[in-house]
Amino acid sequence: MNANEKPPIGVVGVGWVGLVTAACFADVGHPVVAMDIDEAKVETLSSGGALPIHEPGLLDLVERNRQRLRFTTEMTEVLEHCRLLFCCVDTPPTYSGDADLSRVEAVVAALPEGSEHALVMKSTVPAGTGAAIRRSRPGLVYVSCPEFLKEGTAVKDFLEPERVVIGADEGSESAAEMVADAYRPLGGELVMTDVASAEMIKLASNAFLATKISFINEIANVCEGVGADVREVARGMGLDDRIGPKFLQAGIGYGGSCFPKDTQALKQLAGNTGYHFQLLTAVIEVNELQKRRVISKLTKHLGSLAGKRVALLGLAFKPNTDDMREASSLVLAARLQGEGARVAAYDPIAEARAGELLPNVELADTAVEALEGADAAVLVTEWPEFAELDWEELAGRMATPLIVDGRNFLAPERLRAAGFTYEGIGRAPEPARTRTPG
């Protein structure tokens, strides 16, 4: 390696975080060896063309950096070429709410005793995991480097970080410096700290954002009772620097692979230390109830939902992703079916993933097809194309022009002018006027 060459980087686990990490480090000039146990995935990634996930800009990045980016199923290949190993395997929740660390443990077990490698933990793990790993493997060089990227803007988040958190304890300082060197060209504040604090920064950040969402959702529910508009309230609150405008969009609850899992894991972690994290317990419960509030907005106008056709617009947990993990649509579809409704749905890209999870939902190829003859529409994911629909024409195609806008995404005046009964979240509710006997 000459002085200008960047050191090779190993990435273990090529999921959302792993693939973005691998492609972005390759893009800034590191040779990258990315390993996954899933042969089919490695084969697809190596042969080019499609990616296993939908993430704007990522395919371009992978294609552009093919020369520096190698995919393999062999851990030995990673170990042979790279000293820094970024661990990006998933840590799903277990039945108890604890994080399942078996994949992380398998990566640790694959490191030869006394090896020179540095394990850089990107996977979200409970605080204390780094210390436990080092107790089980004395001498292991270990750095915590939690990831803060968001699906849908992951490439930008990685390449232009606001902050990079790097935690290391005694004996791992030089590896922490190597990690800092890898991130320095990207800008963003480097937070050099100890391992346990780095782990907590990640969990606390996600828990705080989830709290902000549940808070504004509860404010929205109160707004409905007092005739206020939560969007106005959030705007007025957000102008206070101490509060800020972000993550104050009321809706039908947060989903995805991170907030639900990480809030549970932090609650569980606190419980395991003997502390009842009361606030977080409420945040989680509020989120669960928020997904279900759509039902009462529908029954208010339709009476019983038995036999009614309800069209869900959007299924993914947020726009610009096909990720269905913990999506509010899953709970909503099941609840609607529980009420006896027939559920149709349309999502621009999540259909393939949704098909496996929603076997009894009629998946339409277009929004118009889903809405045809429907008694109600529920906007679940704020895909931009839903604002472009010809709502004036659609009012005539639905059996009842009723819409519950679960993301406050559409303009109520326009929908009402088109003949719709419009219900948002935290906005002055409409009097029940299209109610038919159940």
Q: Give the active site residues.
A: 258
Answer yes or no whether residue 420 interacts with ligand UGA by CB under 6 A: no
Decide: is 147 part of the binding site for ligand UGA (CB under 6 A). Answer: yes
Per-residue exposure over 205-231, b if at least 16 CB sit within 10 Å of its own CB, e if not: ebbebbbbbbbbbbbbbebbeeebbbb
CB of 250 to ligand UGA, least distance (A): 7
Q: Which is nearer to ligand UGA, 157 or 339 (CB)?
A: 157
Q: Smallest distance from the beta carbon of 283 to ligand UGA, in angstroms? A: 12
Instruction: Show contacts with ligand UGA in window 96-135 (CB under 6 A).
Output: 124
From 32-40, 252-260, 383-391, 412-420, span contacting ligand UGA (CB under 6 A):
252-260
Would you say 191 or 417 has its CB closer to ligand UGA? 191
Q: CA–CA separation, 349 vs 315, rounded Å?
A: 9
CB 198 to ligand UGA: min, Å:
14
| Closer residue to ligand UGA, CB minimum distance, 259 or 422 | 259
Give the span between the Cα atoms of 353 and 356, in whole angstroms: 6
Cβ nearer to ligand UGA, comparing 148 with 435: 148
Q: Cβ atoms within 10 A of the Cβ of 30, count?
A: 20
Spatial contact of 294 and 252, defined as CB atoms under 8 Å apart = yes
Residue 211: C-alpha distances to residues 55, 148, 163, 231, 260 (Å)? 26, 17, 21, 17, 11
Q: Which stretch binds ligand UGA (CB under 6 A): 48-56, 149-157, 307-315, 365-373?
A: 149-157
> In terms of CB distance, is 151 or 375 closer to ligand UGA?
151
Residue 99 CA to residue 125 CA, distance in Å, equals 7
Q: Does 251 contact ligand UGA by CB under 6 A?
A: yes
Is 64 within 8 Å of 42 (Cβ atoms)? no
Rank residues 12 and 374 by Cβ distance to ligand UGA and give the closer one: 12
Q: Which two tokens stand for residue 109?
A: 């077990």
CA angle 402, 152, 124 (to 5 degrees): 115
Q: What is the rounded CA–CA span in Å between residue 181 and residue 239? A: 36
Using CB under 6 A, which of the segments 86-94, 145-153, 223-231, 268-276 binds ligand UGA? 145-153
196-215 binders of ligand UGA (CB under 6 A): 206, 209, 213
First CA to last CA across the chain, in angstroms? Answer: 75
Q: With beta carbons less than 8 A apart as the criterion, state whether 321 and 258 touch.
A: no
**Shorter beta-carbon distance to ligand UGA: residue 68 or 325:** 325
Matching residue, tokens 């529980």: 338
73 versus 153: smaller Cβ distance to ligand UGA = 153
Of 29-37, 71-79, 142-150, 276-284, which part binds ligand UGA (CB under 6 A)? 142-150
Rounded Cα distance between 324 and 350, Å, is 7
* Closest distance to ligand UGA from the beta carbon of 221 (Å): 14
Tokens 């709410």 correspond to 97
Is residue 161 part of the contact set for ligand UGA (CB under 6 A)? no
148 interacts with ligand UGA by CB under 6 A? yes
- Residue 148 CB, shortest distance to ligand UGA, in Å, is 4
Q: Is 1 exposed, middle or buried (0-12, 13-18, 19+ CB in 10 A)?
A: exposed
Select the span of 43-51, 82-90, 141-149, 298-306 touching ligand UGA (CB under 6 A): 141-149
Kindly state whether residue 317 participates in binding ligand UGA, applying the rule CB under 6 A: yes
The CA-atom distances, in angstroms, between 49 and each of 19, 145, 153, 278, 397 are: 15, 30, 21, 48, 39
Measured between alpha carbons, how far is residue 21 from residues 25, 33, 86, 98 in Å? 6, 11, 8, 25
* Residue span binding ligand UGA (CB under 6 A) among the ranges 24-32, 143-151, 335-343, 391-399: 143-151
Site string for ligand UGA, 339-368 (x = CB under 6 A): ------------------------------
Residues lying near ligand UGA in the complex (CB under 6 A): 124, 147-151, 206, 209, 213, 247-249, 251, 254-256, 258-259, 262, 317-318
